[in-house]
Amino acid sequence: MPSTTIAQALAQAQAAGLARIDAQMLLLHVLDRPSHDRAWLLMHDGDAMDEGALARWHALCARRAGGEPVAYLTGRKEFFGLPLQVDARVLDPRPDTETLVEWALELLAPCPAPRVADLGTGSGAIALAIQQQRPDARVLAVDASAGALAVARANALRLGLPVQCVQGDWLAGLAGPFDAIVSNPPYIPAADPHLAALTHEPLSALASGADGLQDIRNIIAQAPATLAPGGWLLLEHGWDQAQAVQALLRAAGFDQVQSRMDLAGIARCSGGSMPVGLSPTVK
């Protein structure tokens, strides 16, 4: 059998429908090269692949073609510059979610030793990114899934970040007060055809009731009792949900309700602050 070179392997994967970047990431993984080393592939494009690497590569390409996220196949995903370990117990962290982290960091900048809760933490991406940028923060990472929390805990330990991971149902049982509550909850409507493309990720991290807003409603209902006066609730949501989430925040008595755009220019996060000087029970 003629040997296959790196350039041929990549061309075959793209001909089979894989995105170029996905094929490159998988090939680097198979060849035990760091994921940022795409230049290495170019410099070695005439190298022949050995049979073992080729077999592993074909298996990974087939799984990718079947819809598995690259992050699950390599076990890694970079988020906000942090190398996270991920697997099918957690949502594959999206770059869109960095918008939420940046917003939280801006709001927390004037606040010494802020207390932060990340609800539905999954891999721990948001909580760990905030903790890394703000070593003085006390960050709590909450998830209902024991499997997800195991992933978040392992990431915290490996990265040496003192995020506290607790199992729970959004804010139930948490005392606060928090200076910021942040969340990338499930927000896809249960009957949305988009879900069909995401079957490898946990449905509990993606879908939320008929209109996709069920978990967001629950969080907005619970947040005022645990936010400090002037504290912020920031929520990621779907591309067409900004108005609905803003309306829910206003109806719950939040001030300064506004949205932030992701890199694609989509209003991807909405948030508001707790009125200062009014206790949550009065509002």
Residues lying near ligand GLN in the complex (CB under 6 A) are found at 91, 94, 96, 184, 186-188, 198, 206
User: Cβ 9 to ligand GLN, closest distance in Å?
Assistant: 29
Helix axes 125-133, 98-108, angle to 10 degrees: 40
Distance from the Cα of residue 5 to its chain's centroid: 35
User: Cβ 83 to ligand GLN, closest distance in Å?
Assistant: 21
Residue 160 amino acid letter? G
Q: Is the peptide bond before 177 cis (omega within 30 degrees of 0)?
A: yes
Question: Strand pairing of 138-143 and 178-183?
Answer: unpaired
Residue nearest to ligand GLN as judged by C-beta position = 206
User: Cβ 43 to ligand GLN, closest distance in Å?
Assistant: 34
User: Cβ 94 to ligand GLN, closest distance in Å?
Assistant: 5
Q: Which is nearer to ligand GLN, 114 or 189 (CB)?
A: 189
Distance from the Cα of residue 224 to its chain's centroid: 24
Q: Which is nearer to ligand GLN, 45 or 96 (CB)?
A: 96
Cα–Cα nearest to 187, from 198, 171, 176:
198
Q: Which is nearer to ligand GLN, 31 or 130 (CB)?
A: 130
Q: Which is nearer to ligand GLN, 186 or 231 (CB)?
A: 186
Q: Which two tokens stand for residue 266?
A: 């989509």
Q: Which is nearer to ligand GLN, 72 or 187 (CB)?
A: 187
User: Cβ 15 to ligand GLN, closest distance in Å?
Assistant: 26
DSSP annotation of 212: S
β-pair partners for 227: 178
Q: Which two tokens stand for residue 82?
A: 């942090």
Cα–Cα nearest to 185, from 215, 147, 210, 164:
215
User: Cβ 126 to ligand GLN, closest distance in Å?
Assistant: 11
Q: Which is nearer to ligand GLN, 31 or 198 (CB)?
A: 198
